[in-house]
Amino acid sequence: MTKTPAAPARPSAHAPVLSRRALNRATLARQLLLERAAMSAEAALTHLVGLQAQNVKPPYYALAARLAGFDPLELSGLMGERAAVRIVTVRSTVHTLTAADALVLRPFSQAALDRELRMFRRGLVGVDLDRLAALARAHVEEEPRTPARIRTELLRHWPDADPQSLGIAARVRLPLLQVTPRGLWRRSGQVALTTAEHWLGRPLADEAAPDGIVPRYLGAFGPASVKDMQAWAGLTRLREAFERLRPGLRTFRDEHGVELFDLPDAPRPDPETPAPPRFLPEYDNLLLAHADRTRVMDPVHKDRTWTGNQPHRTFLVDGFLAGVWRLDEPGDGDGGGGGGAGGAGVRLTVQPFVDLDRQQRQEVLAEAERTARLLGGDGAPATSSCDIRFGEVVPGR
């Protein structure tokens, strides 16, 4: 007789309620944004389960906001030693991950990539995807290849197929990562790809089960709902994993009655804990890792971090999204080229979404100067001044 699976437990009416501000402080603590952590870049990458890296600079900016004494060359060194890599995983987007996590998260994310591939099926009529994967693997393991060269090679075998669809199929069917010098601090390099197994000399993890990933997600982003983790991962049907793990987790409710899961001993600071300003990169995971993002932003601001297809860097005041910022420097370009002329050539512009009181403005100014000195130009010397400018507050729609 087949046993009927038990229905998911409903949120207990007696589960403690966490306010929006309590969720904010808990999440900031997990994200190392309440106070900078004295940990290595590698340990931070592990704790944060990677950093979104569609552009080159965001992982460096993300760690500068989170780590005490961070030196961008530390992360760059990890990538040069192949201890960290740039690879498509969760949400079918490029992340900077430790090598160990890349080998685990790539198979975990396969369903999200498969869903993306289905959007390109019309361009792949008549294409044998198994053969495509074998041909692409041989091509990129012979030597790293640019996406254009991969498409050109595959078009030789399927001249009537859509080139973009062929490239997407190779990325979905193979664990392609971006080799260095792409991603190194202040080094230029176009995207060139090979397989994770070839670059790292190790196989992908055999298991893609989420049970080992759920606690890590909660440790970095909790307390969180099932839908929150599904938004972070770009996956569905994670409820069963949470139910299997429920006996070892704590449960809460948010102010709307949504059930939240958390690790028993994870930090949940007092909601009134001070949260200093922090300057975050575009695509920061803090703003992307929950289905309900009100724990870090007012809904009125949710469309203000983008202009068209261009994402903006953001900053926090009192733990919540408060505006966007821009760092201009000589030779600026996301490819990581040219170094800058030191502090004199670095300008950081702050565009608040809200009125800042005098103390908040002073704190934002101090954090802006720190950010500009660390990340602008070749590193501004302590005796030089950075040009910090405040734009006018522009009300939201």
Spatial distance between the Cα atoms of 223 and 27, rounded to a whole number of angstroms: 7
Does 248 map to a domain? no
195 and 315 co-located in one domain: no
pLDDT at residue 335 in the model? 44
Q: 255 lies in a domain?
A: no
Q: Are residues 194 and 306 in the same domain?
A: no
Domain count, the chain: 2
Residue 175 lies in a domain: yes
pLDDT for 336 beyond 90: no
| One-letter identity of residue 33 | L
**pLDDT reading at 337 higher than 60:** no
pLDDT of residue 348: 96
Same domain for 318 and 171: no
Q: Is 65 found in the same domain as 196?
A: yes
Both tokens of 220, joined, read 């970095």
- Span 116-121, mean pLDDT? 94
Region 268-282: what's the mean pLDDT?
Answer: 97
- Do residues 178 and 305 both lie within one domain? no
pLDDT of residue 345 exceeding 60, the answer is yes
Contact 360, 319 (CB under 8 A): no
Quickly count helices (H) and strands (E) in the chain.
14, 14
pLDDT grade for 279, boundaries at 50, 70 and 90: very high
Q: Give residue 256's identity as a one-letter amino acid code.
A: H
In the predicted model, what is the mean pLDDT of residues 321-331? 86
108 within 8 A of 210, measured Cβ to Cβ: yes
Taking 70 as the threshold, does the pLDDT of residue 238 lie above it? yes
Tokens for 302?
């949710």
Whether 19 has a pLDDT exceeding 70, the answer reads: yes
331 vs 140, higher pLDDT: 140
Evaluate whether residue 38 is within a structural domain: yes
Establish if 246 belongs to a structural domain: no
Confidence at residue 332, expressed as pLDDT on a 0 to 100 scale: 54
Q: What number is the average pLDDT over the span 236-260?
A: 97
Per-residue model confidence (pLDDT) at position 109:
96
pLDDT at 14 over 90: no
Cβ atoms of 101 and 49 closer than 8 Å: yes
Q: Please identify, among 165, 200, 235, the residue that sits at the C-terminal boundary of a domain.
A: 200
Q: Which has the minimum average pLDDT: 8-17, 88-97, 337-346, 373-382?
A: 337-346
* pLDDT above 90 as % of the chain: 81
Among the candidates 158, 178, 200, a domain finishes at: 200
* Domain assignment of residue 26, yes or no: no
328-336, long-range: CB within 8 Å, 24+ apart, which pairs? 329/376, 329/377, 330/377, 334/55, 334/56, 334/57, 335/56, 335/188, 335/189, 336/56, 336/57, 336/183, 336/184, 336/185, 336/186, 336/187, 336/188, 336/189
**Confidence bin at 307 (pLDDT 50/70/90):** confident
Residue with tokens 């030196």: 71
Determine, yes or no, domain membership for 207. no
62 plus 190 within the same structural domain? yes
Domain with 116, as residue range(s), is 34-200
DSSP string, 125-154: TT--HHHHHHHHHHHHHHS-B-HHHHHHHH
* Interval 315-330 mean pLDDT: 92
pLDDT tops 50 at residue 110? yes
- Amino acid found at 92: S
Given a cut of 80, whether residue 364 has pLDDT beyond it is yes
From the number of C-beta atoms within 10 Å of its C-beta (0-12, 13-18, 19+), residue 234 rates as middle
**Mean pLDDT to the nearest integer, 325-331:** 81
Q: How large is the average pLDDT for residues 305-325?
A: 91
Whether 383 shows a pLDDT value over 60: the answer reads no
Residue 83 lies in a domain: yes
Would the pLDDT of 3 be above 50? no
pLDDT higher than 50, residue 378 = yes
**Concatenated DSSP letters of 233-296:** HT----HHHHHHHGGGSEEEE-TT--EEEE-TTS----TT-----EEE-TT-GGGTS-S-GGGT
Q: Quick one: 160 and 306 in the same domain?
A: no
304 in the same domain as 163: no
Positive/negative CA dihedral, 230, 262, 49, 242: negative
- State the DSSP code for 181: T
End of a domain among 158, 177, 200?
A: 200
**Which of 64-73, 190-199, 365-374, 387-396 comes out lowest in average pLDDT?**
387-396
* The pLDDT of residue 396 is above 90: no
pLDDT of the residue at 329: 75
Q: For residue 379, give the amino acid letter.
A: G
Mean pLDDT (whole number) for 200-218: 93
Q: What is the mean pLDDT of the chain?
A: 91
Whole-angstrom distance, CA of residue 283 vs CA of residue 305: 9
* pLDDT in the model for residue 303: 79
